[in-house]
Amino acid sequence: MKREWNAIPLNETQEHIAQRRDGRPVQSGGRSEGAGSADSAGGAAWMDADSGRADAHDQAPPRLVPPAELTELAEAVLRHMGTPNGSALAVAASLVDSNLVGHDSHGVRRLPIYARAANLGQIDPAALPEVGERDGAVVTVRGNRSFGQLAAAAAVQELTAAVTANGIGVAAVRDCNHIGRLGEYVESLAEGGIIGLALCNVDPTVAPFGGRERRLGTNPLAWALPRGPVSDPAGEGPVVMDWATSAVAEGKLALARARGERAPEGVLMDSAGRVSRDPADFYGGGALLPFAGHKGYGLSVMIEAVGGLLSGGGVSCLPGYDGGNGTVLVGIDPARFMPADAFRAQVEDFCDELRRTPVAEGHDEVLVPGDVERRARAERAESGIPVPASVWDALTELVPGRPDEQGSPRGTAADPAAGGPR
């Protein structure tokens, strides 16, 4: 089918994303703030380059930054890169939201890497995504090498319309840069009463089960379920599951290396195929392992094929891969199967029953997906977001003339091509 590509308005989507800053409830469309559980929606090789660089500076206690202040700084960095105001706010709010829910690997530490990519021409800060002719319940969004957060949020907007009209919808995002925390987008769908599923492929960092070279990305998968009465804005919000199909997300490995910490057992191997706990072995040519052995490997294969091929971005280990996040989102309207309120109430009852499970030895409580992130959001909105000194310095260096903490203007900004967070 021939598609006509037309720029889409992002006002509503940008406002929805931006409402998350400061931990504020989402007001648009009657949605209420929900929990979020996330792991990693990796990135292309240029995005991960140098992201695991260690820095003794990070051994100092992190700076606690109010969400509004961190969003303001992130916006300033993005505007200095040439990002229009509305897009800068949307991307900044998305990144800070990752920090708010405790997933710092996909928060503001990505900005210096984005700046490097913009300097290399791999991100166009001024670009906006476009949508083609809608084909029933199916829609394709072209990222145009804009920020991936904008393209994914646009896909959510388009998918919501498709699900409203058809009861189910599928959106594929092509030509898409790093989209950030995958769980954000399914959470947004669930806040609007839609069951959300999202997946994407990523530049290869994971060895197939039984192999020792990189062939697959961390290839995350996210689900979200609407929960609780719509009339209760103080409710817990959606149930959100979001994790990488690798044994650990690359971004979390990068954080471990930056902090001088060892990796958990069984998550990576060195270039010779030997299991290791040293993050440097991964950045020295090793590979991550799939979670749960052959099971995680099989799931990753399916995500790679569906995300890469339906988006048009390609399979990441084959020629023609575009180096981005081939993203596919699916939405289902539960009201087409049963009363929406009954669905939401039964999901809440299900969660309550899970939490009532007697605890096993070594555990204090039974949680449901999203509980940890929901608690982190409440705590960090109150006490501030911990930002390592090296990340703070890297951000402030990208905004020339911005006062430092003593109120003195900083010198000339560092070259964005110098690399990612230290």
Q: Which pLDDT score, from 0 to 100, does residue 263 have? A: 95
pLDDT score of 259: 83
Q: What is the mean pLDDT of residues 4-27?
A: 42
Residue 324 is assigned to a structural domain of this protein = yes
Calpha distance 78→85 (Å, rounded)? 9
Q: Average pLDDT in the 272-281 region?
A: 96
pLDDT tens digits along 327-338: 999 999 999 999
Q: In this structure, is residue 297 part of a structural domain?
A: yes
Has residue 1 been placed in a domain? no
Average pLDDT over residues 294-302: 98
CA dihedral 123, 188, 27, 81 (to 10 degrees): -10
What is the predicted pLDDT for the residue at 59?
66
Is 287 a residue whose pLDDT tops 60?
Answer: yes
Residue 33 has pLDDT above 70, yes or no: no
Contacts of 346 (CB under 8 A, 6+ apart): none
DSSP string, 98-152: HHHTT-GGGTGGGHHHHHHHHHTTSS-TT---EE---BTTEEEEE-TTS-HHHHH
Average pLDDT over residues 72-97: 98
The answer to the question of residue 45 being in a domain is yes
Q: pLDDT category, 57, cuts 50, 70, 90?
A: low
Extract the tokens encoding 342: 């009954």
Spell out a b/e string for 323-358, using b for 16 or more CB atoms within 10 Å of the CB, else e. bbbbbbbbbbbbbeeeeeeebbeebbeebeeeeeee
pLDDT, tens digit, 9 for 90 and up, residues 264-276 = 999 999 999 999 9
| Mean model confidence pLDDT for the chain | 85
pLDDT grade, residue 84 (50/70/90)?
very high
Residues making up the chain, counted from first to last? 422
Residue-level pLDDT at 29: 33
Total count of domains within the chain: 1
pLDDT score recorded for residue 26? 38
Give me the mean pLDDT over the 246-260 stretch.
86
Domain of 405, in residue numbers: 6-418
Look up residue 390 and give its two tokens.
């090296």
Is pLDDT of 12 > 70?
A: no
- Quick one: 84 exposed, middle or buried, by C-beta within 10 A (0-12, 13-18, 19+)? middle
Q: Which CATH number goes with the domain that contains 51?
A: 3.30.1370.60
Tell me the mean pLDDT in the region 193-204. 97
Residue predicted with more confidence, 88 or 26? 88
pLDDT tens readout for residues 88-137 = 999 999 999 999 999 998 999 999 999 999 999 999 999 999 997 689 99
Q: Please report the pLDDT score of residue 153 as a whole number.
A: 98
Residue 328's H or E segment, with its range, is strand 326-332
Phi first, then psi: give them for residue 400, nearest 5 degrees.
Answer: -65, 140
Using DSSP, state whether 97 is helix, strand or coil.
helix
**pLDDT tens sequence across 138-183:** 999 999 999 999 999 999 999 999 999 999 999 999 999 999 999 9
Q: What is the pLDDT of residue 251?
A: 77
- pLDDT beyond 60 at 357: yes
* Residue 100 or residue 412, greater confidence: 100
- Cα Rg for the chain, rounded, in angstroms? 20
Contact 22, 380 (CB under 8 A): no
Residue 217 lies in a domain: yes
- The answer as to whether 34 is a domain residue is yes
The predicted structure's pLDDT at residue 353: 98
Which pLDDT belongs to residue 235?
Answer: 80
